[in-house]
Amino acid sequence: MNKQGLLPLLLLASAGFITLLPASVAADMTLQMCINCHGQDGRGGDAITPIIAGLTEVVHEDALYAYMDGDRTCALVPIMCKMAQKLSEDQVVSLAAHFAALPFAPANEEFDTTLADQGKAINERDCAICHGGDEPGDPESGILHGQRKGYLRLALQQYAAGERKQLPAMQKKTTALSADDIEALVNFYASFRN
């Protein structure tokens, strides 16, 4: 069956309408939905779908619960939030473990070197203490280095506008960022290669 044929079935399964299937089959179908957008390797495909390969289990689980609770909105791809809302706690745990076990590799997207240099300085001043400088910092702070630019830009715009739940210590820094600062940071993180 091609992807288009499978999609309605997967939507039904994830919505819990197909209850006669064994739990393991339903779980595989849910994972397949995630993979449709985030990729088999967890590295996504388009600009706004984040790389989730290697994302630590805690950050992954917190993200899914935040989508469930409305602390995070899926402004551009509402299906992401709709899917999260259907997950059981067991599914959250096993999906987070599945993607945490996949190796991270940076998106290797193009970047502007002048902007990246400006972003490096802003990162050093405001973010490095938690997120690291030239190398990623605490893994429990999510993936910034090598993350997809489109997703990071959107995330930072939401943080700056106070539209996405964040740590108070981070909020102080992000709400002070201008649109130019955000663009510089996005280019700095995009410059990461490993």
Place of tokens 């964040």: 166
Among 70, 167, 175, 193, binds ligand HEC (CB under 6 A): 167
d(CA 194, CA 179): 28
How many Cα atoms occupy the beta-carbon half-sphere of 97 within 13 Å?
6
Output 112 or 171, the one with its CB closest to ligand HEC: 171
d(CA 176, CA 105): 30
Determine, following the binding rule CB under 6 A, whether residue 72 of this chain makes contact with ligand HEC: yes
- The footprint of ligand HEC on residues 14-53 (CB under 6 A) is 30, 33-34, 36-38, 48-50, 52
d(CA 194, CA 143): 13
d(CA 99, CA 95): 6
- What the block records as the tokens of 14 is 């994830």
> Going residue by residue from 117 to 156, which x/- string records binding to ligand HEC, judged by CB under 6 A?
---------xx-xxx--------xxxxx------xx-xxx
Determine, following the binding rule CB under 6 A, whether residue 157 of this chain makes contact with ligand HEC: no
In the complex, the residues that contact ligand HEC under the rule CB under 6 A are 30, 33-34, 36-38, 48-50, 52, 55, 59-60, 63-64, 72, 74-77, 79-80, 83, 95, 126-127, 129-131, 140-144, 151-152, 154-156, 166-167, 169-170, 173-174, 177, 185
